[in-house]
Structure 1
Amino acid sequence: MKRWWLVAVGMLCGSVHAQSVNAPALKAGDSWVYADTVETGPQGWSRKNIAVTVERVDGDSMLVSDRQEGSTQPAVERLVGLDWSRSRDINGKQQVVNRPMVFPLTPGKKWHVEYTEANPNRQHSSETVGDDYSVVGWEEVQVPAGTFKAVKIEAQGQWTAIVAPSVATDSHGQVDANGALSVSQSQITRPRTVSGRLYKAFWYVPEQKRFVKSVEEYYNSKGVRSSRYTEELQSSKLAG
């Protein structure tokens, strides 16, 4: 009898962790403090605490403020989706560039985010970024705020860019027996396509209404990681 009871409890726990997770009831005043770590190149590293607060909830979006703890600078306010998706101007039109969650969250669920931007910087005449997201399942995660059972979402992606043509000229002077001489050299960069990879992971905890940890990594065309952005929950204060 005892063995059957243990099996039943195990099946019940498994079904709880297998069920879909619906969108949270976000409210003005919900606030989270994250340790925000930025790693760039082989040695670049910085960390700061960022307080994220819901200021207003609308029909399909919300106003969120980001404030660095200990800073005298005002908070940065931004509009995000109710699923914490981020949008920005792409070629004159607002497009989603990051969607870490699509509710309800069910293990095995998949979605795709892709956009192409013209002239994103001086080096590239065009960039295309694509992410394939999937709900991995339940996983235990430890952060400064504690240990949580979380739904893990992963994204594997690729960026592709067309290098903009350019001409670089280098001039220098030389002096010989016949006098001064100016020498100029030009280097022409022709359009070519380059690509790289990216990886993202989010650990969403329903009771916290948001992910307690996130990692975003970007790799250059040689497969070397160029940057990593990590957020870990320090504390939270949720409206009733």
Structure 2
Amino acid sequence: MDSLRTATGLCVLALLTACASLAPVGDPVPAPGLRVGDTWTYAVYDGYRGTQKGSTRYSVQQITSHAVVTRREAGDGPDTRIFTWEWNPYTEELPEQRMADFSPPFPAFAFPLEDGKRWSGTVIAVEGKTGRRYPVHVFARVAGRETLKTAAGSFDAIRVERSIYLDNHEWWRSGTRWYQSEWYAPAVGRSVRYQDYSEYTDYTKSNDEPLIRSAIIPGDKTVLELTAYRLAPR
């Protein structure tokens, strides 16, 4: 049964990733050339109500041959977040406020970004508090190019969409389905907008009918928009 639930979740995500047609995005976009001192500040919004919940600031502290070390400052206090040179995180917050380490890094991007590009991958998530391990399956695509206006300015951006399945199912619930859209702007070396939504199926929910009906349980819906940025001299 567990393998069937996992396979069903993966099939749904793969179909969602494959169905929509792609808009041209122009010339391929290379990975960002980051520098120590680069800084980006985002307003964080509740995606359901549209109200601002706070802000988050990332600044590049160190660059090594295989990693970009950033300082993240938010309402829950500062911490360190480490990425690859392609902004693929080694550690990230999953739905339901669960911090996890990834091995290998989570494949958020696959530069160069270009028209029609798709990629996928499976990583192992290890939750920081519980130590629980499970696969995370990622299906991603370049979905087109748009011009976005935020408080930081107007930017030409490439939209990346991801359908993700967290294989954290239990007897009473499915794994988590996680959907992300992210607008990467080459001019600032990072995304200018990000939004996500998650959900899972509760198998115990019933409408008092002969056959038990599952219920979709929505998770958080979050939006980040760039409000300010500063790039170190190139």
The alignment's TM-score, normalised by the length of structure 2, stands at 0.69
CA distance in 2, matches of 1:119, 1:76: 16
User: Which residue among 60, 72, 78 is the counterpart of 2:81?
Assistant: 78
1:132 and 2:112 equivalent? no
CA RMSD of aligned residues (A): 3.3
Question: What is the aligned residue count?
Answer: 190
Q: Which residues of 2 match residues 184-223 of structure 1 at below 5 A?
A: 191=171, 194-221=174-201, 222-223=215-216
Partner of 1:239: 232
Q: Which residues of 2 match residues 1-240 of structure 1 at below 5 A?
A: 17-38=25-46, 47-68=53-74, 75-88=78-91, 95-96=103-104, 98-116=106-124, 127-163=134-170, 191=171, 194-221=174-201, 222-240=215-233
Deviation at 1:95, TM superposition (A): 0.7
Contact residue 120 and residue 127 of structure 1 kept, 8 A: no
Q: Give % identity.
A: 20
The answer for unaligned runs of 5 or more in structure 1 is 1-13, 164-190
Deviation at 1:233, TM superposition (A): 0.1
CA 1:145 to 1:20, structure 2 compared with 1: closer, same or farther past 3 Å?
Answer: same
CA distance in 2, matches of 1:54, 1:126: 29
Deviation at 1:88, TM superposition (A): 4.3
* Residue aligned with 1:20, SS: coil
CA distance in 1, matches of 2:138, 2:81: 22
Task: Deviation per CA, 1:174-218: give whole Å up to 9, x if none.
Answer: xxxxxxxxxxxxxxxxx4662342210110110100010111211
Partner of 2:3: none
The alignment's TM-score, normalised by the length of structure 1, stands at 0.67
4+ residue segments displaced more than 6 Å: 118-122
Higher strand share: 1
Contact residue 84 and residue 105 of structure 2 kept, 8 A: no
Contact residue 103 and residue 125 of structure 2 kept, 8 A: no
CA distance in 2, matches of 1:29, 1:230: 25
CA distance in 2, matches of 1:217, 1:127: 20
Larger Rg: 1
CA distance in 2, matches of 1:156, 1:119: 20
CA 1:195 to 1:233, structure 2 compared with 1: closer, same or farther past 3 Å?
Answer: same
CA distance in 2, matches of 1:120, 1:220: 21
The answer for unaligned runs of 5 or more in structure 2 is 1-22, 93-100, 202-214
CA distance in 2, matches of 1:117, 1:28: 28
* Residue aligned with 1:86, SS: coil
